Structure 1
Amino acid sequence: MFIDTHAHLDFPDFKNEVHQVLGRAIAVDVRRILNVGVDVDSSKKSVDLARKYPEVFAAVGIHPHSALDLDIEAKQKLFTLANHSKVVAIGECGLDYYYLKRSSKFSKYPNREQQIFCFEQMIDLSIELRLPLIVHCREAESDVYAILKSCQKDIRGVLHCFSSDWEFAKKILEIGMAISFTGNITFGKDSEIERIIKELPLGSLMIETDCPYLTPEPFRGKRNEPANVIKVAEKIAEIKNISLSDVERQTTKKAMGLFGIK
């Protein structure tokens, strides 16, 4: 059994198609899917999907691009949602400085301080509820590491859609976090990503689609979906020169252990 540890089946891309999408996933032995919220509304939709479909679990949280949505009422709603039995994580949350570093035309995005405040509030929620974190990090490695390091004794979780360098990967492992890869690892030869995958212990890795985004080869350009997580697993097996069944067994074991998924 494979587990897609990061999907967004509540997004409009999957409107009226979730049942069929899940059927295709189950047909290739992707039997557990973690649907991840990006704001209060999508978190509620994630919980609704988890209620409806036995193979779907939910995470609730606020993405850094939605950091301005965070207020007392939003945090209370997330707290209430997180108490559902099929909510297994807080996220996705974290820091994303990609647009902040590029142009003033992207000023609509929350600034560094606003993102950090939201991230810290999500961490507080995860500690209070004893749920793991799903962390988003894009061009914000230094701040993400500093924040996670400051509370490493109280947290556990995963750095999702990893696309950074080996030094950051080592730091993430040192504070006890897992690392998850998605379809971007199939986009041609990337010596740094290949080195990271080779060096990281298989037991510290998980796999995801981040669908509808980051569709792996040979389906790149089409909408992504959980069934395609197999392609991520195949690429990891190729890079590490191990069997697909080894990747399946170890990544599933890691996801089940971290999120309490059965």
Structure 2
Amino acid sequence: MFFDTHTHLGSRQFDHDLPAVLERARAAGITRMVAPATDLENARKLLALAEHEPDVRVAVGIHPCDADSVSGEGWLDELRDLARHPKVCAIGEIGLDYFHAPPEGFTLDAWKAHQAKVLTAQLELAAELKLNVILHNRESWDDLTALVLPFSDRLRGVFHCFTGTMEQAAPLLKLGHLISFTGIVSFKNAGVIAETARVVPADGYMIETDAPYLAPVPYRGKRCEPAYVADTARAIAALRGESVEQVAADTTRNALAFFRGWE
């Protein structure tokens, strides 16, 4: 019934009980899950998992906070090889993150430039392989959209964990991109995010957990799990004045059209 479009099943927080986490998700009606990678090692870990889990697909990519793990050109060839795996449905999680301090050896300007270079290379790869992209933004909106939007005729992006306004989202949706909501939409202080979820067109959004982070109410502050995407759907349904079944149907339809390889 529900499609969790962004759950970090490769997180170390799930290493001790992942089978139980997946069973709880299935019991809650989550029928499909996309697990985005953060680096090459994480991508390999997720692909090994997905080979044995029919309801899991993988996005492969270098997260902006892990951009210092790659240099030169060899990493892109390895990512290309991983992206050809039959369980890969997108390139991600990729983007820009200006919130965290630069890693050792980088000035702020050099770190931003390196992130942009890694992102652009992955956008080119996604376009080459005809894959859509999962996008990360943190305090980098203008720079991120400046790099991504020129690719709009070659790929679609989902701006994951969207926390912006409908005014920010509208130009993206017009170009065929999507936004995705996490459990933040259920928080009492959701504010702008809740309003965006209320008015976004039915064909313009997806839902996710971003597990193990950002658990929705009533689990806020605890480790998030893919099962909780049902709670996020219920929160959005209440905001929109729709049934949870309608939210599940709309977001599943959008996700099936966006991610490669689902029946």
Q: TM-score, normalised by structure 1?
A: 0.94
1:84 aligned partner = 85
Which moved further from structure 2: 147-156 or 239-248?
147-156
Q: For 1:135-180, what per-residue CA distance to the aligned partner results, in whole angstroms no more than 9, with x for missing partners?
A: 0011111111111221211111211010123322122212211110
1:191 aligned partner = 191
Query: Counterpart of 2:135 in structure 1: which amino acid?
Result: V
Matches within 5 A, 1:1-262: 1-71=1-71, 72-100=73-101, 111-260=111-260, 261-262=262-263
Query: Counterpart of 1:60 in structure 2: which amino acid?
Result: V
Which moved further from structure 2: 162-171 or 205-214?
162-171
Change (3 A) 1:174 1:256: same
CA contact (8 A) 2:95 2:136 kept: yes
CA contact (8 A) 1:141 1:168 kept: no
How far off is 1:107 after superposition?
6.2
Which moved further from structure 2: 108-117 or 202-211?
108-117
Match of 2:116, SS state, is: helix
Query: Counterpart of 1:117 in structure 2: which amino acid?
Result: K
Structure 2: state its 5+ residue gaps.
Answer: none
CA contact (8 A) 1:145 1:171 kept: no
What is the number of residues matched between the two proteins? 260
Query: Counterpart of 2:9 in structure 1: which amino acid?
Result: L
CA contact (8 A) 1:99 1:106 kept: no
Among all aligned residue pairs of Structure 1 and Structure 2, give the percentage whose two residues are the same amino acid.
37
How far off is 1:68 after superposition?
1.9
Instruction: Tell me how large the CA RMSD over aligned residues is.
Output: 1.9
Residues of 2 paired with 1:70 and 1:127: CA distance? Answer: 20
Match of 2:43, SS state, is: helix
How far off is 1:223 after superposition?
0.8
Match of 2:6, SS state, is: strand
How far off is 1:106 after superposition?
11
Residues of 2 paired with 1:187 and 1:106: CA distance? Answer: 38
Which moved further from structure 2: 33-42 or 72-81?
72-81
How far off is 1:191 after superposition?
2.6
Structure 1: state its 5+ residue gaps.
Answer: none
CA contact (8 A) 1:185 1:235 kept: yes
Moved over 3 A (4+): 103-110
Residues of 2 paired with 1:210 and 1:107: CA distance? Answer: 28
Residues of 2 paired with 1:213 and 1:89: CA distance? Answer: 21
Q: For 1:1-43, what per-residue CA distance to the aligned partner results, in whole angstroms no more than 9, with x for missing partners?
A: 1110001111110113111111101111101111110111111
Q: For 1:57-98, what per-residue CA distance to the aligned partner results, in whole angstroms no more than 9, with x for missing partners?
A: 100000111112223221111111111111000000001111
